[in-house]
Amino acid sequence: MLNTSYSAAAQLRADMPLFTGPNWDYGSLRRVYEAIERIAFDELGLDIYPVQIEVITSEQMLDAYSSVGLPLMYHHWSFGKRFAYHETLYRKGLQGLAYEIVINSNPVICYIMEENSMTMQTLVLAHAAFGHNHFFKNNYLFRQWTDADGILDYLSFARDYVAKCEERYGLEAVERVLDAAHALKEHGVNRYAHRSRPNLAEETRRAEERRIHAETTYNDLWRTVPKLANDEDDLDDEEKLHEEMSRQLGLPEENLLYFIEKRAPRLEDWQRELIRIVRNISQYFYPQKQLQLMNEGCATFCHYEIMNRLHDRGLITEGSMLEFLHSHSSVIFQPGFDDPRFSGFNPYALGFAMMSDIRRICEKPTGEDRDFFPEIAGCGDPFGVLRDAWANYRDESFILQYLTPRVIRDFRLFHVADDSSKPSLRVEAIHDELGYRRIRSALSRQYDLSRREPDIQVVDVDLTGDRCLVLAHYVHDGVLLDEKTCRSVLRYTAYLWGYSVKLLEIEAATDNTLKTYEAEGK
């Protein structure tokens, strides 16, 4: 198809730019890819999945948007809604399209738009095909939770399965299940890897070990010690039965969709499979939600580094460099809180700033840095430190570890406490000596998914009575659920469960029940 003699030509004339002019073609894409590859492997030490670059049109980009960035997806009206929404914004000119979308699969699929100029394609390759790619392959959360080899196959299975169900049971029936499952999708993830269940041989071996331990440490004296009244005797039979049942059901369970899929009394097999599909896809996105800042930061840092190195070597022209800097600076723009454009932190901006600052500390530390980061200050190996951070942290822990005073000052961060019982907000900390650590931990909490999302668990099922499912929302700092959406979600839950569902808002600190919601099953 495409020949590879370009790389040899490029090497011969390293002082020549890889491309000139705005138009791209396959030859220059390949030349640029190879030039970036050398920098990424030899100088930054990146480690990536193989790459597949797919050229698409803007309409296809909108398509990809609507199916949450995945290349294939089952059909559901909500994706149509998202498409209509983005299309309107795009047509009105309120929103530009992303230059690229990258899929965490093996090989990594990197969509690039045909409208991009060659400079933009270079940026996109550096950003997505190398930055994101390295992060996908190395971060511990992705390694633990995401099956990069299998995701595309699974999506195509899901799409076909949903289509088959629609054919057999009707669009409406399928839509009802998917709607309901979508309402619970944030609560359809396992937050902790389950301990693998030991097999029988393993169990026997451990029982044997315990017995030997008991034998070797046997002391007859213990027999003479008077026994305490046994706790278990205090429980009457009913309570015991209840406890046994909870244990068998695996309660409490925070993966609501898992529980419903396995235990809902009235679902049919295909409905359970649909729930499982929603759950699995939700699980696929679970790491991404915790890694937004780092993922974008890593990609942005990589593309900035790579573009600069290409420029230093005369591989891209001054014009391209200016074009790149223009779009780079708009990507890392962070409006202040009082700016009408403000809508939270820009993950590109904060991530890039933090990673650039890590590099500075490694290379040119100040006294302050030596106080805060004695282990990396002046170590001279910024990419080693960064690679370690990219591999072993998530947003929350990364901020807690690496948010430097310098970044806090540059962004002019401040910490506001919002107590709904008081008439005004209070500034708790600003960018000063006393504030750095408080801001750092407060911002880290802000990125903690377990605090951002309500903590909801299945706590009880009345299997012997009316089969009512009881959920509990553990309330921290008095933050309750939004009433309106809570009621609609409960209705969906009751539809899946088939019987009535109750939700208790329980204050985690005191175990007081603050509020009760109920939804009737049909």
Partner 1 sequence: MNIVDRRANPKGKSLSNRQRFLGRARAEVKSAVQEALRKRKVADVEHGEKVAIPTRGITEPIFHHNRRTGKTDLVVPGNKEYVRGDEIPRPTGGEGQGGREGSPDGGGEDAFEFTLTRDEFLDMFFEDLELPDLVKKTLKDTTAVDLQRAGYTVTGSPSNLSIPRTMRLSMARRISLKRPKLSDLEALREQLEEARANDDEAESERIARELERQERRSKIIPYIDPIDVRYRRFDRVPRPNTEAVMFCLMDVSGSMTEAMKDLAKRFFMLLHIFLTRRYRHVDVVFVRHTSTAEEVDEETFFYSRETGGTVVSTALEKMLEIARARYSTDRWNIYGAQASDGDNYGADSSRCVSLLGGEVLPLCQYFAYVEVGDNMGGSLTGLSRDSDLWRAYNEVAPAHPHFAMRRVGDPSQIFTVFHELFAKGGVRA
Q: Which is nearer to partner 1, 2 or 214 (CB)?
A: 2
Instruction: For residue 306, give every residue at least 6 positions away whose Cβ sits within 8 Å of its Cβ, in sequence order, or none.
Output: 36, 39, 40, 44, 126, 130
Residues 57-76 that bind partner 1 (CB under 8 A): 57, 59-60, 62-63, 66-67, 75-76
d(CA 351, CA 359): 13
Q: Which is nearer to partner 1, 328 or 473 (CB)?
A: 473
Cis check: omega of the bond before 226, within 30 degrees of 0: no
Rule CB under 8 A: say whether 331 interacts with partner 1: no
What binding mask, one character per residue, do residues 89-128 give for partner 1 by CB under 8 A, x or -? --x---------------x---x--x--------------
H/E element, 243: helix 237-249
Rule CB under 8 A: say whether 477 interacts with partner 1: yes
Q: Which of 56, 173, 251, 379 binds partner 1 (CB under 8 A)?
A: 56
Residues 404-463 that bind partner 1 (CB under 8 A): 411-420, 423-432, 434-435, 439, 442-443, 445-446, 453-454, 456
Cis check: omega of the bond before 107, within 30 degrees of 0: yes
Q: How far is the CB of 403 from partner 1 (least distance, A)?
A: 10
Stretch that binds partner 1, among 78-86, 98-106, 198-206, 325-333 (CB under 8 A): 78-86
Strand partners, 109: 52, 103
Q: How far is the CB of 114 from partner 1 (least distance, A)?
A: 6
Other beta carbons within 10 Å of 136: 25
The interaxial angle of helices 382-392 and 292-312, nearest 10 deg, is: 150
What binding mask, one character per residue, do residues 488-517 give for partner 1 by CB under 8 A, x or -? xx--x-------------------------
Specify whether the CB–CB gap between 473 and 504 falls below 8 A: yes
Strand partners, 522: none
Q: How far is the CB of 520 from partner 1 (least distance, A)?
A: 17
Q: Which of 481, 496, 506, 519 binds partner 1 (CB under 8 A)?
A: 481
If 0-12 CB within 10 Å is exposed, 13-18 middle and 19+ buried, where does residue 475 land? buried
Pairing of strands 469-475, 501-507: parallel
Q: Which is nearer to partner 1, 82 or 313 (CB)?
A: 82
Q: Which two tokens stand for residue 443?
A: 């911002």
Q: Which two tokens stand for residue 354?
A: 């933090």
d(CA 275, CA 178): 7
Rule CB under 8 A: say whether 479 interacts with partner 1: yes
Rule CB under 8 A: say whether 246 interacts with partner 1: no
Q: How far is the CB of 482 from partner 1 (least distance, A)?
A: 4
Rule CB under 8 A: say whether 132 interacts with partner 1: no
Number of residues that bind partner 1 (CB under 8 A): 102
| Amino acid sitting at position 176 | R
